[in-house]
Structure 1
């Protein structure tokens, strides 16, 4: 991978630093959540450094989920290219208001920076979406992975109390991560 490019020194840049090929490829959705995100950010295109933009392709098998997550450094705008996708985000405390919409081909939805959001293919056909993010490195925190799959693990006592469930349920969930 080429070093990140500072636009004050384009003498060191080459065309490959501004190029990515592969968003036409179907992502592998044979996983637990039945979706795949192909990321194109500053790690794939060094020339994005300082440009505050990136893009992802999301492939959803039938009933595929892009699990609840946040982008700590970016607002996201999603466009459905194929299929139908149920999307939503939750505002922050104290309201925790849920905003949802079913999107069809050509529909667009915005997820504000830092809010928990998701996409779910509720149909029986594959779906594909493209999302632009307002950061060359938006970051992603998948909520379930962060909470139940941390290393080292968050204490069962903490999680049981936070989710108001028995510790055995927390243990069972943690084994999935």
Structure 2
């Protein structure tokens, strides 16, 4: 086991362990936020095990969003293939500064390891990006899903105080994330 994944005997590997197909196929976002991620991590491509790299394709509907999230084990580098994206990350304590930019086709942006970041299509047409990661298994924590969709739910008292809102607001938001 390396990095939580079983290492295959090198004598038993085949070309298929190092091959992934279909990244050229557009994926239609079918969720409320309007983005669809196609990961190529160690689970999808076993040959990545121990290599410290991975990638993903992100398809965006017009004005679609890849919501605020973090990768606890990887820096991400994103390249826009089609469309225009508003991207950004928030620096850590004590300043929580937003670092953001609008990217166009061919532009590249880096999201440092562990920082909350996002991407949003700012165009009326679909957008596509490819992201590379400095880990075979970068991890993913989507902020809204984690906070408002945890099971069991985080107490209304905790969230109301943390976000400085009424408990009814917390209940309304949690209802949107209940699955």
Q: Could you say which TM-score interval applies, normalised by the shorter chain?
A: over 0.9
Q: What is aligned with 1:141? A: 141
**C-alpha distance in structure 2 between counterparts of 1:6 and 1:170, whole Å:** 44
**C-alpha distance in structure 2 between counterparts of 1:31 and 1:155, whole Å:** 26
Q: Identify unmatched segments of 5+ residues in structure 1.
A: none
Q: What is aligned with 2:51? A: 51
Question: CA-to-partner distance for each residue in 1:11-64, whole Å, 9 max, x for gaps?
Answer: 011111111111011112132001100000000011100000000000001010
Q: How does 1:1-177 map to 2 (within 5 A)?
A: 4=5, 6=7, 9-177=9-177
The answer (yes or no) to whether the contact 1:89–1:115 under 8 Å persists in 2 is yes
Determine helix, strand or coil for the equivalent of 2:72: coil
The answer (yes or no) to whether the contact 1:87–1:118 under 8 Å persists in 2 is yes
Using the size of structure 1 for normalisation, the TM-score is 0.95
Using the size of structure 2 for normalisation, the TM-score is 0.94
What is the Cα-based RMSD across aligned positions, in Å?
1.0
**C-alpha distance in structure 2 between counterparts of 1:169 and 1:95, whole Å:** 27
Off by >6 Å, runs of 4+ in structure 1: none
Determine helix, strand or coil for the equivalent of 2:103: strand
Q: Identify unmatched segments of 5+ residues in structure 2.
A: none
